[in-house]
Structure 1
Amino acid sequence: MRHLFTAAALAFALASQSEAEVLIGVAGPMSGKLAWTGTQLRRGAEMAVANINAAGGVLGQQVRLIVADDFCDPRQALAAAEKLVADGAVFVIGHYCSGASIPASKIYAAAGVLQISPSSTNPMLTEQGHANVFRVCSRDDAQGHKAGNYLADHWGDSKIAILHDNTTYGKGLADETKKQLNMRGVTEAVYQSYTPGKDDYSVEVAALQTAHIAVLYLGGYHTEAALMVRAARDRAYPVQLISGDDTATEAFGLIAGPAAEGTLFTFVADPRRNAEAAEVVERFRAENFEPDSWTLHSYGAAEIWAQAVTKANSLDLQAVIAALREDQFDTVLGRIDFDKKGDLTVQSWVWYVWKSGEYVPVE
């Protein structure tokens, strides 16, 4: 009996401790080919939670982070979302991939859980009309518009190929780019899909070379982009590779090696350059972690949620949504405010180039 009483008392104490915590989640590809970017989301969220707790938590309660792996896969994203909801998360930072965020958003909407994606750029995420869904990155309709104009301005007289991986993100971005390119009166020589996840793309690259393609616009992820540009350079084929925001990761340079040099891509303004982010960036680097790509967007999503809860003086979803729609937030990303869809009021994309092993803004 003494043993049973002790176990019951321990269970009660653990339950009481859990009630004193606010649970939030971070969801993304924590394993698989995009694990590098999943790590960025996790590290950004972990640092933010540590700083929030050091400042007293939210509403006098400490915050605990739950990590969910969705493998950048729609079905696994549903399972990850259901697990986070079942575990009691009131807010989720995620997902990374649009193809994961969009199906998961339906789970969060039904459960009354706030979702802020650091990185899902497909317009459909917020066009669905879920009031609980926000994002701290710009959209692919704006990104494709910028890319299409750039292609028309610089390579309008050249043979252009547009390839995509048939994912929500990759095909969506390729289609937005194609739409604007065609609006400018330029028709691509090749538009087709490729199979993601292969170890070698020399056959696809050889076909582009045979077709005398001068510029390849790739709608897809950095792993395949890196392998394609490597295959091209191995053939002494100087095709210009241009891609989207997923190319903004150190992993692209590591996979592509010297072949990364000269690759162009669009990405949001690098938050590491923000004065507001200097202290946080310094802390990451002191831990031998470079907060590139979407790390600070994950951190910023957590910052915004904590500020919104404080402004609302409540964890109630509707109160927090109202605060998100009505207020502005000072973050490592700069000052953030949202429109009625949950998108940033200012859509901004910047051109970058891989140069000497890192990506820098195009001058």
Structure 2
Amino acid sequence: MKRKLCTLGFLTLALVALTLGSAWAETIRIGLMCPLTGSWASEGQDMKQIVELLAAETNKAGGINGNQVEIVVEDDGGDPRQAALAATRLTTKEISAVIGTYGSSVTEASQNIYAESGILQVATGSTAIRLSEKGLPLFFRTCPRDDEQGMVAAKTLGDLGFAKIAILHDNTSYAKGLADEAKSLLEAQGKTIAFYDALTPGERDYNAILTKLKSAAPDVIFFTGYYPEAGMLLRQKMEMGWNVPMLGGDATNNPDLVKIAGNQASEGYMFLSPPVPADLDTPEAKAFIDAYKAAYGNAPGSVWAVLAGDAYRVIAEAIAQTKDTSSEKLAAYMQKEMKDFSGLTGKISFNEKGDRVGDLYRVYKVDAAGAFVLQP
């Protein structure tokens, strides 16, 4: 009798294990690495909300090929060291692919970790050229590259009639890369680079470097760093009574810039960026923005978080079409067969390096009310 009970017990345990194993196999786990803390936390919070909203919509519609999706989130803090730890944790959680992250130097700290683990990575707000020049076959991004932005920057500064230009960066992979690209293109146009240097991100007082900038007497400042520092520069530049125009790169596209600088100091500030969420005009984008507002009460703060949504959508589409979660098969499909996929930010295709194909950049100006206005 005891032997029969033991046999029955083992069979029951085996059945439970098989059932749990089957349920586990039916769940598609997608990683999300984003800055939920630190100076870029507003970007990360939007990224998390967007990706989780899209996954919930997928699950409500029956999942991907009948399988439910689970988003596994890790906070990278907007810091390369923390990103390496976050990436390492995600590689242990049986994910099929990972979305993220925001900030080129932060993404770069995670690239080799995902590559060595054989995990597909789709970056979102990481535009540094060198990220896709390493020959990593599982690396993709839904955002454009800095060489595209550099060309738009040089053209914009030239079209606006500026001849003597100051370039200020922050020594991060993204900002330094964009600064170097713009400098080279502007010098080729015969423009004078009156100032070229870096600030230290995260400081509260930039009066010293603003004084150096002012002594160079530029026609315009091109700042290639991020929105927290851009906001401080604008506010402190106004406080010192210096009215020189300022153009920023795409990392300054965040409404927190206006909160930091104030409406008066922000007015007239221009920046380069893919379209802000309010200017996205695809049917998919409009439906998504409506769903986001219904869920969270407001629109996403910037396009970088929406590009995380596009990363989720291309991964989900690749899984649906290949009926597979192998990173190699997903990457092959995205690179060779995904053509003009209808993303939230427009049509999406990838080249052999994993870079998004097509020009997304536009010029925006901040108006008196602090709104970002698309320029003709």
With the shorter chain as reference, the TM-score category is: over 0.9
Match of 1:327 among 338, 342, 364: 338
Match of 2:301 among 284, 292, 306: 292
Deviation of 1:271 after TM superposition, in Å, equals: 4.8
Question: Counterpart of 1:72 in 2: which secondary structure?
Answer: coil
Match of 2:316 among 306, 329, 338: 306
- Residues 277 and 300, structure 2, Cα contact 8 Å, conserved in 1: no
In the alignment, structure 1 residue 194 sits paired with structure 2 residue 199: yes
Aligned to 1:180: 185
Deviation of 1:17 after TM superposition, in Å, equals: 4.0
- Residues 166 and 196, structure 2, Cα contact 8 Å, conserved in 1: yes
Match of 1:281 among 272, 289, 314: 289
In the alignment, structure 1 residue 59 sits paired with structure 2 residue 65: yes
Deviation of 1:230 after TM superposition, in Å, equals: 0.3
Question: Counterpart of 1:188 in 2: which secondary structure?
Answer: strand
Deviation of 1:331 after TM superposition, in Å, equals: 2.1
- Residues 98 and 169, structure 1, Cα contact 8 Å, conserved in 2: yes
1:120-159 matched pairs, under 5 angstroms: 120-157=126-163, 159=164
Q: Deviations along 1:44-102, whole A, 9 cap, x unmatched? A: 21111111111211232111111111122222211111111111111111011110112
Deviation of 1:16 after TM superposition, in Å, equals: 5.4
Aligned to 2:275: 269
Percent identity between the two aligned chains: 35
Deviation of 1:318 after TM superposition, in Å, equals: 2.0
The separation in 1 between residues aligned to 2:158 and 2:241, in whole angstroms, is 25
In the alignment, structure 1 residue 256 sits paired with structure 2 residue 269: no
Equivalent residue letter for 2:361: W
Equivalent residue letter for 2:325: L
In the alignment, structure 1 residue 46 sits paired with structure 2 residue 58: no
Deviation of 1:152 after TM superposition, in Å, equals: 2.8
Question: Counterpart of 2:193 in 1: which secondary structure?
Answer: coil
Q: Deviations along 1:298-336, whole A, 9 cap, x unmatched? A: 111111111111111111222211211212222222221
In the alignment, structure 1 residue 357 sits paired with structure 2 residue 370: yes
- Residues 253 and 260, structure 1, Cα contact 8 Å, conserved in 2: yes
- Residues 155 and 215, structure 1, Cα contact 8 Å, conserved in 2: no
Higher mean alpha-carbon deviation, 280-289 vs 163-172, is at: 280-289
Q: Deviations along 1:103-149, whole A, 9 cap, x unmatched? A: 31111111111111111101111111111111111110110111122
Deviation of 1:28 after TM superposition, in Å, equals: 1.9
The separation in 2 between residues aligned to 1:133 and 1:252, in whole angstroms, is 30
- Residues 149 and 184, structure 1, Cα contact 8 Å, conserved in 2: no
1:64-143 matched pairs, under 5 angstroms: 64-143=70-149
Question: Counterpart of 1:95 in 2: which secondary structure?
Answer: coil
The separation in 2 between residues aligned to 1:215 and 1:16, in whole angstroms, is 61
Aligned to 1:340: 352
Question: Counterpart of 1:86 in 2: which secondary structure?
Answer: coil
Q: CA RMSD in A?
A: 2.0
Q: Deviations along 1:261-299, whole A, 9 cap, x unmatched? A: 111111013354223211110121222132132222111
Match of 1:315 among 280, 303, 325: 325
Higher mean alpha-carbon deviation, 202-211 vs 212-221, is at: 202-211
Question: Counterpart of 1:189 in 2: which secondary structure?
Answer: strand
- Residues 148 and 179, structure 1, Cα contact 8 Å, conserved in 2: no
- Residues 269 and 348, structure 1, Cα contact 8 Å, conserved in 2: yes
Distance 1:154 1:61, change over 3 A: same
The separation in 1 between residues aligned to 2:68 and 2:245, in whole angstroms, is 49
Structure 2 gap segments, 5+ residues each? 1-8
Aligned residues: 356
- Residues 100 and 122, structure 2, Cα contact 8 Å, conserved in 1: yes
Equivalent residue letter for 1:313: K
The separation in 2 between residues aligned to 1:308 and 1:17, in whole angstroms, is 22
The separation in 2 between residues aligned to 1:178 and 1:120, in whole angstroms, is 20
- Residues 39 and 78, structure 2, Cα contact 8 Å, conserved in 1: no
The separation in 1 between residues aligned to 2:346 and 2:166, in whole angstroms, is 36
Question: Counterpart of 2:309 in 1: which secondary structure?
Answer: helix
Equivalent residue letter for 2:293: R
Q: Deviations along 1:23-48, whole A, 9 cap, x unmatched? A: 11111211011111111211221111
Question: Counterpart of 2:55 in 1: which secondary structure?
Answer: helix
Higher mean alpha-carbon deviation, 210-219 vs 279-288, is at: 210-219
Structure 1 gap segments, 5+ residues each? none
